[in-house]
Amino acid sequence: MKQTPDIKPTATALLVAPAAILMFGVFVLPFLFLVVLSFWSQVPGSVGIVPGFTLANYARIIGDGYYLGGLWTTLWLSGLVTLLCLVLALPLARWIVLYAKRSKGLLIGLCILPLVCGALLPTLGLVNLLSPLGFINGALKSMGLIKTSLPLLGNIAGVSIGLVQAFLPLMILPLISTIERIPHDYEKAAMSLGATRLVVWRRVLLPLMLPGIVAGSLLVFCASLTAFVTPQILGQGKVVTFASLAYQQAAMVLDWPFASALGMVMLLFLALAGLLGALVSRGLGRRT
């Protein structure tokens, strides 16, 4: 169907151009520059950069167990966080769509609160929640359930809790919009035809929710893979993630070509995750 425009093509182009030029120049171009920069090298002991073509930055990542270890930790941590977010977001999103009537908008607003508060402020609260004298340990101790504090900071447990908390909204929002599009009768129809609850979920609800699940998982995975504020603070330097390595190289060591190469590796894994997501949704789309 050809849609008729309400304003002239030149006017449209003029309206769109400023934002488009800005986003291309300030957002897209740096990514292209990153590719180039990752093959340049750093003058040792200065911020000078030597243009050229060297694979030294990449060789350093592959050859050094420190960086590979960080990458491995980050990958499985991101996978774990994605899974946890999915498990927590599914019931919440479904409940908000099906049962929250007048409070729906407010609930969605509360769900995005961790997003608009940025990475830092919730993390400040998390430190006080998880620290040895903090809320959880204090509450458990005063109830007499534990004698010594549980170690919740400076380890994977703390970092995972922080990341799940920070990125849960990224899973909730796409799930809400897919669940909203599933007609209520489908579930009833399947049940009346004799399907058990489990079968309804496996054969009807989950396949229909799949686009939201894939979109949300991708967002959470990408966000966790590149997070550095939460891991640095809750990991207290003991949990080394890939993005915090890149951040250190860029902000403290000031080796920008090497930081760019680390960034390129992150982009590579994000692209792989995106590809996997596309394959999953296409494969399952064909089956149903």
Partner 1 sequence: MTSRFSKAMLLAAVLAILLFLLAPILVLILSAFDSGNVFRFPPRGLSLRWFEAAFNHSEYRSSLWISTVLGLLSTAIAVGLASLAAFGLVRGKPSYRLAMEVLLLAPLTLPLVVWAIALLSIYAQLGINGTLPGLILAHVTITMPFAARIMIATFGEIDPNLEAAAKSLGASPWQVVRRITLPLALPGLLSSTAIAFLVSFNDVVVTTLIAGAGWITFPVRTFSRLRTEGIDPTTIAIGAMIVAFTILVIVFGQRLFQLSRRL
- What part of residues 216-235 is at the interface with partner 1 (CB under 8 A)? 219, 222, 225-226, 228-229, 232-233
CB of 287 to partner 1, least distance (A): 27
CB of 193 to partner 1, least distance (A): 18
| Nearest alpha-carbon partner for 209 in 83, 109, 279, 217 | 217
DSSP classification of residue 153: S
CA–CA distances in Å: residue 88 to residues 158, 169, 199, 206, 249: 17, 10, 21, 15, 35
- What part of residues 81-100 is at the interface with partner 1 (CB under 8 A)? 88-89, 91-92, 95, 99
DSSP symbols for 177-242:
HHHHTS-HHHHHHHHHTT--HHHIIIIIIHHHHHHHHHHHHHHHHHHHHT--HHHHHHHTTSS--H
- If one asks whether residue 275 binds partner 1 (CB under 8 A), the answer comes out as no
The amino acid present at 7, given as its one-letter code, is I
Number of residues that bind partner 1 (CB under 8 A): 92
- If one asks whether residue 8 binds partner 1 (CB under 8 A), the answer comes out as yes
| 128 CB neighbour count, 10 Å cutoff | 12
Among 5, 44, 45, 144, binds partner 1 (CB under 8 A): 5
Among 63, 69, 105, 151, binds partner 1 (CB under 8 A): 105
- If one asks whether residue 173 binds partner 1 (CB under 8 A), the answer comes out as yes
- Only segment of 4-12, 65-73, 198-206, 278-286 that touches partner 1 (CB under 8 A): 4-12
CB of 114 to partner 1, least distance (A): 7
- If one asks whether residue 128 binds partner 1 (CB under 8 A), the answer comes out as yes
The amino acid present at 90, given as its one-letter code, is L
- What part of residues 22-51 is at the interface with partner 1 (CB under 8 A)? 22-24, 26-31, 33-34, 37, 47, 49
- If one asks whether residue 79 binds partner 1 (CB under 8 A), the answer comes out as no
Three-state DSSP class for residue 167:
helix
- What part of residues 179-218 is at the interface with partner 1 (CB under 8 A)? none
Angle CA 112–167–231, to nearest 5: 130
In sequence order, the 6+-apart residues with CB closer than 8 A to the CB of 55 are 39
Residue closer to partner 1, measured from CB, 184 or 286: 184
CB of 107 to partner 1, least distance (A): 8
Residue closer to partner 1, measured from CB, 141 or 156: 141
- Give the CA count within 13 Å in the CB-facing half-sphere of 152: 19
CB of 161 to partner 1, least distance (A): 9
Burial of 105 (0-12, 13-18, 19+ CB in 10 A): exposed
DSSP symbols for 107-145:
HHHHHTHHHHTTTHHHHHHHHHHHSTTSHHHHHHHHTTS
The backbone torsions φ and ψ at residue 50, rounded to the nearest 5 degrees and listed phi first, read -105, 115
CB of 75 to partner 1, least distance (A): 14
CB of 85 to partner 1, least distance (A): 10
- If one asks whether residue 110 binds partner 1 (CB under 8 A), the answer comes out as yes
Residue closer to partner 1, measured from CB, 53 or 287: 53
